Homo-oligomer: A and B are copies of this chain.
């Protein structure tokens, strides 16, 4: 269990999502109430517009994505069959926050990072490892509220038990790439998911990776 007084918890609290000020939902009509996605027609009063605006919004669980770094500095990626896009992608481990009533709770989010790391790669933080929050991103802000919290897991080691993915998942492999190899795979359009690209952007911007190396 993450310690709420831990550095990871305190750092995470500094970059969590806050509600926008001056926004109001004048009406909400739910047109699809599905287990995995809810579609709403919403009338918004926004801080900048003089008149309300009607918009279609897809509600989704929030999620996490994590860049696992080995003690030698290489990054772990998994290859996973992604059904909606009909291909197997190489990407950083990621997963949804299933406890929807506590989806913005720091402990719940950090626990999800640890369990996805374990389940998808068979790795865990080493005793001297560190979980470093890298903010969040919106996957498609034009129509969805889905957001993904990003983390660097520095110094991960095998659990010894191997991966244990969910039955619905189809994880085909796991491999370690140097920062330079990761950059090359991104440059040539082999890595194509928003989670991995957004993590790479934050890792570069915060100086954890130098793509010119």
Contact = CB atoms under 8 A, between A and B. Distances in A.
A134 to B, nearest CB: 8
Contacts of A142: 63, 82, 84, 94, 96
A193 to B, nearest CB: 5
A10 interface: no
Size bracket, chain A contacts: 35 or more
Contact of A170 (B20, B48, B58, B189): B48
A73 interface: no
A1 interface: no
Interface string A178-208: 0000011011010011100110111011110
B143 A60 contact: yes
Contacts of A204: 183, 200-201, 204, 211
A64 to B, nearest CB: 12
Contact of A194 (B48, B58, B94, B198): B198
Given A84-B57, A142-B82, A189 B135 contact: yes
Interface of A: 15, 19-20, 23, 31-32, 34-37, 39, 42, 44, 46-49, 53, 55-58, 60, 63, 81-89, 91, 94, 96, 135-147, 168, 170, 172, 183-184, 186-187, 189, 192-194, 197-198, 200-202, 204-207, 210-212
